[in-house]
Amino acid sequence: MRNFPNYIRQIYNSLEDWSAGIIEKANISDLDPEAVQYAKEKFKEKQIGKPFYHEIDHWEDSLFLDKAKITLGGKMTNAAIILLGKPEAAHFISPSVAQITWKLDTEEKAYEHFEIPLFTTVNDVLKRVRNLKYKFFPNNQLIATEVLKYDPEVILEALNNCIAHQDYSLHSRIILTEQTGKLIFANAGSFFEGKADDYTLGDKTPKRYRNRWLADAMVNLNMIDSMGYGIHKMVRSQKQRFFPLPDYSKSKSNEVVLDIYGHSIDENYSKLLIERKDDLNLTEVILLDKIQKALPITDDAARLLKKKRYIEGRKPNYYISAHIAEATNQKAKYIKNRGFKDEHYKKMVLDFLRKYGKATKEEIDNLLLDILPDVLDEGQKKNKVRNMIYALHERDQTIENKGTTRNPLWVLSLSNSAKNKMN
């Protein structure tokens, strides 16, 4: 085994919980008082309904820390320093590292290190992420769907998972890289039990943790879930926000890498989630996400998606169908094809003239062409606009031309202007 030091280390670490290790020279004065107080508040929230709930406010800090499984018999653990230690107490766990680095990797470059207590500094990391809004334009809606690029709870879930499952024997920091369209979370160590796909549906519950004492403390402080629902919650959030699902495909044997997308990869995927959000089950969403990322799926899965007309193409080059919206966008399609009555378009022209006083042919075209029925081609649309302007001028006599025949400049007619003043 001497030729396989990584395997030796993994076997050794699987038998010992480093996070429960006692630091004899540390004491409660090495913990951040504000972090401890905030931790007690979060612990109390978790204990609603328990017999001792109303006693928590009166507990000494030492009693609370033991009850929350942060300290052990009043002694400081590695977990206590990671979660609640003062920044200057980091040396107690050296050469292990409890640090999160935020790195901006776009046209702009920046970085910042966040030290212990990680229980509170994860919120500072969250504030560094630039979380703008993103617009989708689904086929079955007349207005855009707008969402934040990132769900703040997903960011915190991912960071807390990194803290809980980090292999601290590798002496590595946690890194959050912010790119233009996604966040990349990286922590040392492999998945301790199973793989990421095992947890996407929320069916698998882990039997053991790499850092059991640390994980239990984080559960008691409401930072993570003990049932293995973290990945499942992130999957559901990304689905509900119409973005690609969390992606662990870049993980290695000694590093877990998570990509959280803040943009669409395949527009058809996002449109499908919007248009059929009540029909698609989570398994189908996961399979479609694999298709848009060009990841393999089974033949049975491909047959299922093809039967529902969600995908096209041949193995292995499947792609999400561009015709998925046909059955779901009938209302929008009806409006676009039918259009509005001519009086609606005429009123838009008159309203424009009332507001701006005059309009060129180009301005009227810009006002109307894009909203005319889709069944008309470009020539038919322009002809329809000409006919409406002719009707407003000759039949209704509500507008008049102050320009030339070649370059008309339309204004409200005098009689129409006088009528507006009277109203």
Q: For residue range 162-173, what is the model confidence (pLDDT) as tens digits? A: 999 999 999 999
Query: CATH for 339-422, among 3.40.50.620, 1.10.10.10, 3.40.50.720, 1.10.357.10?
Result: 1.10.10.10
Confidence of residue 338 (pLDDT cuts 50, 70, 90): low
Among candidate residues 141, 137, 145, the one with its CA nearest the CA of residue 331: 141
Domains 100-319 and 339-422 share a fold: no
| pLDDT number for residue 10 | 54
- Average pLDDT of the residues of the chain: 87
| pLDDT number for residue 329 | 43
| pLDDT number for residue 321 | 83
Structure tokens at 334: 């009806």
Secondary-structure percent of the chain, ordered helix, strand, coil, rounded to 5: 50, 15, 35
| pLDDT number for residue 195 | 84
> How many residues are given for the chain?
423
Buried b (16+ CB within 10 A) or exposed e, 296-327: ebeeebbebbeeeebbbeeeeebebbeebbee
pLDDT tens-digit readout, 78-94: 999 999 999 999 999 99
Distance CA 328, CA 275 (A): 6
Q: Does domain 100-319 have CATH number 3.30.565.60?
A: yes
| pLDDT number for residue 138 | 67
- 334 has pLDDT over 60: no
Confidence of residue 72 (pLDDT cuts 50, 70, 90): very high
Cross-strand pairs, 183 = 178, 260
Locate the domains of the chain by residue range: 5-93, 100-319, 339-422
For residue 316, whether the previous peptide bond is cis, meaning omega lies within 30 degrees of 0, is: yes
Confidence of residue 4 (pLDDT cuts 50, 70, 90): low
Q: Which residue has the higher pLDDT, 268 or 141?
A: 268
Averaged over 296-315, what is the pLDDT? 92
C-alpha gyration radius of the chain: 31
| pLDDT number for residue 421 | 44
| pLDDT number for residue 264 | 85
Task: Determine the straight-line distance between the first and last CA of the chain, rounded to whole angstroms.
Answer: 94
- 9 has pLDDT over 60: no
Best mean pLDDT range from 121-130, 199-208, 265-274, 310-319: 121-130
Q: Are strands 145-148 and 133-136 parallel, antiparallel or unpaired?
A: antiparallel
User: Element (H or E) spanning 411, and its range?
Assistant: strand 409-412
| pLDDT number for residue 35 | 98
Q: Which residue has the higher pLDDT, 341 or 367?
A: 367
404: Cβ contacts below 8 Å, ≥ 6 apart: none
- 418 has pLDDT over 50: no
Q: CA angle at residue 94 from 159 to 187, to 5 degrees?
A: 25
55: Cβ contacts below 8 Å, ≥ 6 apart: none
Strands of the sheet with 174-178, listed across from one edge: 109-114, 100-105, 174-178, 182-188, 255-261
Confidence of residue 409 (pLDDT cuts 50, 70, 90): very high
- 136 has pLDDT over 70: yes
Distance CA 366, CA 343 (A): 18
- 324 has pLDDT over 70: no
Confidence of residue 339 (pLDDT cuts 50, 70, 90): low
Confidence of residue 198 (pLDDT cuts 50, 70, 90): confident
Q: Give the percent of the chain with pLDDT over 90.
A: 62
Q: 83 φ, ψ to 5°?
A: -85, -40
Distance CA 363, CA 92 (A): 71
Distance CA 406, CA 350 (A): 21
Averaged over 14-41, what is the pLDDT? 94
- 28 has pLDDT over 80: yes
Distance CA 125, CA 159 (A): 9
